[in-house]
Amino acid sequence: MAGRVEQAMYQIPEKGRFLNDSSVDPKQDITGVGWYYRHPPNYEQLLQVAEKIGLTPDHDIPTKMGVWRVYKRDNLAIPNFQGKATLVNEALALYESNESEGKISSAILRLSPSDKPFTPEELARDLKVFTHYYVKRPRLLGFPSRALTWFHQGPTLPLLSLPLVGAAVGWMAPVGWMISPSESTFIFEDIAVLHILNALIGALSGAATNSILYGLGALSEKRAKGKIPHKDEYMAGNHAVSTLLEQKGHIQRTSILEEVYASLQHDKPTLTPDEFLEYIAPL
């Protein structure tokens, strides 16, 4: 069984954050579009966090619509209490569009063990893929047409939007069918019945159109996911933010523990690191 010191060492997150996890939605994390991002994260703070962790400006990767600003460190040493540092390869890419006036709109983090290095050229190729399938979204009639994001961002809006619009249009449309009784058909003389019938037809048409658009969006997103490289090393959005903040917190906590432990050893030289973590540090 691992001791307290080993248990307290920094570990790369195993699941729930990387893009290969089934619970992660790459589209929402990378673009910030969707029900999960009603309050987008503050990416501006990441510049200070990256500096505290030890990441340094590496290079910029320009695109047609903006620029990726990359902060990177190979064999980044994350200190651990009374133990060897955890070595990782880490790169943070922050995207600024030409229209945002320097405001960061996307954040992507690549995090891998020290024995799995990656080159700047490889990182640039990966960011080109993210840009093409997620950041660069050609618009059609004002909507992001590449992945049909608006129709594929959450359960409530896609299911209700077009059917409600269709029902409203059908209700207001002064259209009915006046068919001769000689043809053994009904004559609709009550205008309320006409409104209800038209509203039902409009709702059904809207629901059918919505289903088609939602399906196309799902297929487009499936194709985009298939193009993502190194899914087990990339995370984005809030997952990237939380991981960097945890690294910063771990470094700060380790520094405090080392200082307190060194002070206590003057009075009790026999105090072991494991005893300190078990009985004193939790207090």
Q: State how far the Cα of 113 lies from the Cα of 141, in Å rounded to an integer.
A: 45
Is-contact 110 214, C-beta < 8 A? no
Q: What pLDDT, in 10s, does the model give residues 129-163?
A: 999 888 875 444 444 444 444 444 444 444 445 44
Closest CA to 32 of 92, 103, 90, 85: 103
This prediction's pTM: 0.74
Q: How far is CA 78 from CA 47, 55, 104, 232, in A?
A: 18, 11, 26, 20
The pLDDT confidence band at residue 246, using thresholds 50, 70 and 90, is very high
Do the Cβ atoms of 26 and 228 come closer than 8 Å? yes
pLDDT tens-digit map of 184-205: 444 445 555 555 555 565 555 5
pLDDT digits (tens, 9 = 90+) for 14-28: 888 999 998 888 888
How far apart (Å, rounded) are the C-alpha atoms in residues 230 and 234? 7
Q: What is the pLDDT of residue 154?
A: 45
DSSP state of 267: H
Structure tokens at 170: 């059908």
From the centroid of its chain, how far is CA 70? 18
Residue 10 and residue 80 in contact, taking contact as beta carbons nearer than 8 Å:
yes
What is the tens place of the pLDDT at every residue in 208-217? 555 655 555 5
CB 43 within 8 A of CB 104: yes
* Mean of pLDDT values over 28-49: 75
- Give per-residue pLDDT as tens, 58-117: 989 999 889 999 999 999 999 999 989 999 999 999 999 888 777 888 999 999 999 999
Q: How far is CA 184 from CA 180, 181, 187, in A?
A: 8, 5, 10
Distance from C-alpha of 224 to C-alpha of 149, rounded to nearest angstrom? 12
Most confident of 33-37, 47-51, 158-162: 47-51
